[in-house]
Amino acid sequence: MSDELQEQRERILDGWARVAGGWGRQADRSQVAAMPVSEWMLAHAAPVPGERVLELAAGPGDTGFMAARMVAPDGVLISSDATAAMLEVARARAAEHGITNVEFRQLQLEWIDLPAASVDAVLCRWGVMLVIDPGAALRECRRVLKPGGRLAMAVWDLPQENPWATLIQRVLVELGHAEPAPQGGPGMFALSHPGLLEEMLAQAGFVEVECEPVAITRRYGSVGDWIGETLDHSGQFAAVWRELDSEGRQSVRDWLTEAVSDYVSPEGEIELPGSSLAALAQA
């Protein structure tokens, strides 16, 4: 592997480690918004008691914890993430939720350090599009699955379907605080192109591939509330925010307030739509 790629991988993971605390603080609220995607994944992967389920790029770990309940009492969840800091967040949440049939492992999506054919189901919500070689990650998922095992995963749909995320990126660019995201390479929308995920799953050797959009809604009491959540989730946004004076911060709030005017409910809540692509595939 080239030094450049290795440095890029380390930079990406370092970025995730830095926001682990924020993801932990926001985990309850994020899971409320993300629940339709977790529910889709678990309804389709359908883990049953006694099975061994692996969650990859688990972050705070919630989708896996739902699976842990489904495979109990004898089944086991392996909750994993590439960063130790995220694993600590997941460990604390498992204790909070009383989940005991779980093992924690620091695992990389592109090199899953588990034996071949060792798990019945793999779950990965919003992880595969973040890696440099998503094809390798999917091949690794298939390798660790037993024959006939199920992969249930989700990536983000097209940018225009996800204003909750793109407006935050646009405000920084339009006010001159950030460069537009580079085209290509890993990132939130890297696998959003219609048909791409199905094609990559088939190329990785999966069969019976199905993929469909799942809608989510992110709700905020105010623009300040939305900014607060974003400061916890996005290292890039937090870095810009730290450098802004009060006038600069106000111009960000004003831009976002104008941008969300079409998404304010009669009760005054901001309801931002989003869409995820959820997929089921068989090894």
Ligand X SMILES: C[S@@+](CC[C@H](N)C(=O)[O-])C[C@H]1O[C@@H](n2cnc3c(N)ncnc32)[C@H](O)[C@@H]1O
**Residues that bind ligand X in the complex, under the rule CB under 6 A:** 12-13, 16, 34, 56-60, 81-83, 86, 108-110, 125-127, 130-131
Q: Which is nearer to ligand X, 13 or 259 (CB)?
A: 13
Q: Which is nearer to ligand X, 110 or 232 (CB)?
A: 110
CB of 141 to ligand X, least distance (A): 11
Other beta carbons within 10 angstroms of residue 182's beta carbon come to 7
User: SS3 for 266?
Assistant: coil
CB of 74 to ligand X, least distance (A): 25
CB of 81 to ligand X, least distance (A): 5
Residue nearest to ligand X (CB): 59
CB of 18 to ligand X, least distance (A): 10
Q: Which is nearer to ligand X, 235 or 248 (CB)?
A: 235
How far apart are the C-alpha atoms of 68 and 70, rounded to whole Å?
Answer: 5
Q: Which is nearer to ligand X, 175 or 188 (CB)?
A: 188
- From residue 71, give the alpha-carbon distance in Å to each of 43, 52, 74, 148, 191: 13, 8, 7, 17, 30
How far apart are the C-alpha atoms of 234 and 142, rounded to whole Å?
Answer: 31
Residue type, position 27, single letter: A
Other beta carbons within 10 angstroms of residue 113's beta carbon come to 11
